[in-house]
Amino acid sequence: MSENYDKEFNIGAIIRLDGEAEFKSALNGIKKEVSAERAELRLLNETYKGQANTLEALTKKQEVFASILDKQKAKVSAAQTGLDNARKVYAKLADDIQKGNAAYEEASKKLEEMKRSSDTSADAIKKQEKEVETLHKALEKGNANYQRQEARIKSWETNLKRAEADVIRANRALQDNEKYMKEAETATDKCAKSIDEYGRKAKEATEVTTSMGEKVKSALVNKATDMAVDTLKNGVEALKETMYDVSDASASLEAQTGLTGAAAEKYQKTMQEIKGDNFGEDYRDVANVMAQVIQIMGELDDADMQNVTESAIALRDAFDMDPN
């Protein structure tokens, strides 16, 4: 490699994909804070069960809704920062690959000239051949990382869209609750009449009982017939997620891929991270997609497994695509 490219091209730089973990950590930290706020909301629902339309209950819920909205906005900011960084790394990789191609071409040209020259020693040719091979491998790795970074960008774009949608939902919940608060403030009994005692719109209560109730009753073989309206509406998603716990999903992953118990166990945390990012219907669904990834790409490190699996699930859900 000539001195010109010694200064411009760093082989190590083209192999690395920098600056991903810190941005994901920031986003995941905010997601955990939102989860904590939602747990607080569930506690309030239990505390004021049967009197959720009272001014006291609505006021306390308003505080939590406001906090959730602030954190959802912070999540948008964190996702945007992560996306900006992913695009920056993508551009840097493109620049590194361009410089690497130029360095490889120059090194290859120099090797041919050395082979044609009678003054070049065998050791010098061997050394140049090694340099050409090193550059070639670096370019292969760089091009592979370039493709992986495209997937990272798509993953961050998905994160951003999800975060923006969450802000819309959180803002709507805050506005609705504020409307009920104002109604309760002016009522003689300090209760909002347009929602029932469980905090739902009264006109929707019957619909929830019939449509949701029948679906849950059928799915759970009559185990949900005695569920209250609030459990039906708020608990269905929780029931879906707890149908298969992490250990069962891990066992499924092991069975589908032939992984050893230890190898499957190491992916449990990754599985939890993916589900914590709101990807997949439940842990079994996440395990199934992870199994497909392993079958096609082999065992990946935790970060790559999470990125590829989340991207596969996002594409599947958005465009009805087979993860394969």
Q: What is the secondary structure of 129-188 as a DSSP string?
A: HHHHHHHHHHHHHHHHHHHHHHHHHHHHHHHHHHHHHHHHHHHHHHHHHHHHHHHHHHST
**Tally of CB atoms within 10 A around 194:** 12
Which band of pLDDT confidence, cut at 50, 70 and 90, is reported for residue 58? Answer: very high
% the chain with pLDDT above 90: 36
Mean of pLDDT values over 53-80: 94
Q: Is residue 14 pLDDT above 80, yes or no?
A: no
pLDDT digits (tens, 9 = 90+) for 232-270: 445 444 444 454 467 777 777 776 777 766 777 778 888
pLDDT at 239: 45
pLDDT digits (tens, 9 = 90+) for 80-138: 999 999 999 899 888 888 888 998 999 999 999 999 998 889 999 999 999 999 899 88
Could you state, in order of their start, the residue ranges of all structural domains in the chain?
A: 1-199, 243-324
Kindly report whether the global pTM for this prediction surpasses the value 0.85. Answer: no
Mean residue pLDDT of the chain comes to 80
The pLDDT assigned to 307 comes to 83
pLDDT of 222 higher than 70: no
Average pLDDT over residues 274-292: 83
Question: How many angstroms from the chain centroid is the CA of residue 273?
Answer: 8
CA–CA distance, 256 with 80 (Å, rounded to integer): 36
Q: What is the mean pLDDT of residues 289-305?
A: 83
